Structure 1
């Protein structure tokens, strides 16, 4: 039966840093059902962040089963499955047993900072090939660390007994019963081992990072035939037709298909992606060049800015500081005061991302007085996300263009106060779509494209609809004054 039917249904797995989710969409992109499980993080040492990969797999299966059951649609009626994932998070497992050799090292982890400092002089060489910088953020140094610090791992890797993967690759391996070791071009482009011009693993990069090629997966397009799930998992073998890293998937979900279109996703971190078209563009402002998506063997590129802590700052307010009981309380607290009265919170809990790239920076609160209270600190945490977004936007303007509109998504942007403050600080229009879960939606769209449910990106773009439009209200003068205070606070936490 052709999968281009108007009644086609699509399933997305969205495996993120703090949760595992599954969502069933209809062809128009409307959410029919969803299920999620919170994913705990482990912090065994300062700057270290780990995940239990077996927990990720078990939670993912449970979420998919629950989402399918809630939808009332049989697994056999689902046209295709798409996977999107937290990128750079690194896992190595035994090919025979399928067991991880150690916990997954999360993208936020900074344990390889010393190696990156030692080899900072190779940054231009690496950037020219990968579009990335030498930083603990990316997978390559994490792989090397595991091989060097897990007993017998390097020897087993040399014998071809181990497999490396980002989380998409790990989930796919298990969904297929270990039959394929495959990833997509967007995830490969975040490893610092992949030449994004030639679209292949690079032997010189592998030698530099001391990563055996036998560890690496095959790289496919973002919409491709990845195989079918084991029938016993969900009651039927579901075709897997799309994979993309979370920020690239959100770019697809936001229908940013034309050069110059830009989106920003606010989850655990914040990630801004600017479509730059078919030409690889190197940043002069310490942004990343990356693969936005690859279709029919042809890559579309993007510039990206990564903020390590956005929604994670709200989690910190809730879980560590206990200033709020739920994230939803932050909007009312922010509205309860006119301003922060000079209080700035720099959430550099695991260093600073773009455009600073300072792994040794640490978080701080500045400007506290006897009048400062919970509302001031909470509002300063929300404002920090907007200031960091402006950092990225200015870098984007220096490299490519100054966008007139920003499409936003993610859990934080349901907060109208934050989204309005963002428009004020950026001094451009900010648009929130009807579906803020654009990461999962993008994975579903790619799966639909791979399965023939959609015939083109234009067909997908026609489905995108805005829900709210925020226009700047503050004067540029007041915004500049606020932003100057932010830059001063950031300078105070810098390590050099």
Structure 2
């Protein structure tokens, strides 16, 4: 057993690699930025070859920090769940751009099969929507020259980004797809744990065009890579990034309700999903567990959109405050609405023009908080216990306080600021009989009574304004 485990975490802004010791200490880390293209309304893309190169560079930079390099270093691949592409089966050459999870170009394909939505939700556990993989995979087959023929002759594959990365990085002959990632395609039968032929057929696809599904945690089954003469990597985990959060925060087999604030925002809560929400699989070594999930398509992405519109060189996070009673309201949905409303068309709108930059950023922050509240209100088992926060935006204490006021819930952050990566590290070390400690509470945020009263009035006005 190696003295460290590596976690490759490919998000919306960067490919990052982390090395964790058996104590839970983060020994080394590296980050390689990635570019995102928006070629047309509703289209969000990445260059697949550039992402692969960024991943290789990030892994290489971390290995260069480890002394001495080791053989058989366990590796986890954590990736955005609904980003998809097409690639060559034999040499892993990309045959398309990566269509981001935020991409909604194929929304019409979801709408066209509306009569089959109940069946698709029964099969996959997901509410059909334009942001999961199925419609985008169907779009690729129709619009990428020669792809259908390559798929029919066994020369190409389509599927989640993590499957491409695993095959391309590790050099495995057969691409594989973790259950948590397969589910996010809308094509995976969560009872039978295999691709659904009927779901595939609705989108003009075949199950044999997709990578082989298997549990997220597999010792060596994902493949082993001789990285250099002195070092080899053994891929033991492939998982969706958000699905790793409960593994990071669970204690004694239980996990709190969690909000992750990244490019988008997600709420994960133990128990059953209410109407409009998702039933999301969690990574395990065998039959996966499930959690209720709510999704907000833009959190960090909403602030980026605002920054571009107002020509900011940097985002004035320190200006975030709980808005006053008569301040403008905002619906910050530049990538459309996720649960529980599921609207694919982008919409970013203020109820009135903000007086200044502080009013604008506070209105956007409050709008994100209100979208999260719509999801939490739909969760049957969210309870009243404090909610754990993770993700880059949780580093803004002002935003966290506004969120506590808007949700009317106590919140807390922990001393581990990379929860997806830490969740992957805990699962990797657990395979080898070592239990990493759960992160400790770093800061607590309690709702302010006056701000909460004003916030409740504003929430009711906000719902009337944008969800009449």
User: For 1:273 and 1:165, how far apart are their aligned partners in 2?
Assistant: 24
Structure 1 outlier segments of 4+, above 4 Å: 256-260
Does the 8 A contact of 2:270 with 2:382 survive in 1? Answer: no
2:332 matched to which residue of 1?
347
C-alpha distance in structure 1 between counterparts of 2:382 and 2:302, whole Å: 29
2:314: which partner in 1? 326
The match for 2:297 is 308
Q: CA 1:341/1:19 → structure 2, altered by over 3 Å: closer, same or farther?
A: farther
**1:470 pairs with 2:459:** no
Unaligned runs of 5+ in 2: none
Counterpart secondary structure, 2:291: strand
Q: Is the 8 A contact 1:228 1:239 kept in 2?
A: yes
What is aligned with 2:352?
A: 367
Shift of 1:361: 4.8
TM-score normalised by length of structure 2: 0.94
Contact 1:23 1:32 in 2 (8 A): yes
Distance 1:186 1:334 in 2: 35
Q: Does 1:390 align with 2:384?
A: no
Q: CA 1:28–1:392 in 2, change beyond 3 Å: closer, same or farther? A: farther
| Aligned pairs for 1:444-455 within 5 A | 444-450=425-431, 452-454=432-434
Residue 349 of structure 1 contacts residue 362 of structure 1 at CA under 8 Å; is this kept in 2? yes
Matched ranges for 1:434-445 at <5 A: 434-445=415-426
Moved more, 10-19 or 474-483: 474-483
**Would you say the 8 A contact 1:346–1:489 is kept in 2?**
no
Matches within 5 A, 1:199-214: 199-214=193-208
Name the residue aligned to 2:245.
250
Residues 1:256 and 1:421: Cα distance change in structure 2 (over 3 Å): farther
Q: Partner residue of 1:135?
A: 129
Alignment-derived partner of residue 191 in structure 1: 185
2:281 to 284, 287, 291: 291
* CA deviation after TM superposition for structure 1 residue 11, in Å: 1.0
- CA distance in 1 between counterparts of 2:186 and 2:91 reads 27
Task: Give CA deviations for 1:282-311 in whole Å, capped at 9, x if unaligned.
Answer: x4420011212233x222101111100001
Deviation at 1:105, TM superposition (A): 0.9
Relative distance call for 1:130 and 1:368 in structure 2 (3 A) is same
How far residue 490 of structure 1 moved from its aligned partner, in angstroms, is 2.4
Post-superposition CA distance 1:198-233 (Å, at most 9, x none): 212112112222212222212222221234442236
Q: Among 72, 75, 82, which residue is 2:76 paired with?
A: 82
Superposition map of 1:213-252 within 5 A: 213-225=207-219, 226-232=221-227, 235-252=230-247
Q: Deviations over 1:42-95 (max 9, x none)?
A: 11111111111110110011111112223x333416741111001110111011
Q: 1:108: Cα distance to partner? A: 0.8
- What is the CA distance between 1:264 and its match in structure 2? 1.1
SS in 2 for 1:223: coil
What is the CA–CA distance in structure 2 between the aligned matches of 1:107 and 1:39, rounded to whole Å?
Answer: 15
How big is the shift at 1:260? 6.7
Moved more, 417-426 or 52-61: 417-426
1:491 equivalenced with 2:467 (yes/no): yes
Instruction: From 31, 34, 40, give the equivalent of 2:35.
Output: 40
- Please give the secondary structure, in 2, of the residue aligned with 1:298: coil
The match for 2:394 among 410, 413, 417 is 413
Structure 2 residue aligned with 1:56 = 51
CA contact (8 A) 2:257 2:382 kept: no
Following the alignment from structure 2 to structure 1, what is the Cα–Cα distance between the partners of residues 287 and 237?
Answer: 15
| Equivalent residue, structure 1, for 2:266 | 271
TM-aligned CA distance change 1:138 to 1:379, over 3 Å: same
- The residue that corresponds to 1:173 in the other structure is 167
For residues 150-182 of structure 1, what are the alpha-carbon distances to aligned partners after superposition, in whole Å with 9 as ceiling and x for unaligned?
122112211111112312111110122142311
Q: Is the contact made by 1:334 and 1:378 (CA closer than 8 Å) also made in structure 2?
A: yes
Partners of 1:490 and 1:257 in 2: CA distance: 41
In the TM superposition, residue 348 of structure 1 has moved relative to its aligned partner by 1.4
CA gap 1:352/1:227 in 2 versus in 1, 3 angstroms: closer
250-259 or 266-275: bigger deviation: 250-259
Over the aligned positions, Cα root-mean-square deviation in angstroms equals 2.1
Check the 8 A contact 2:251/2:438 in 1, yes or no.
Answer: no
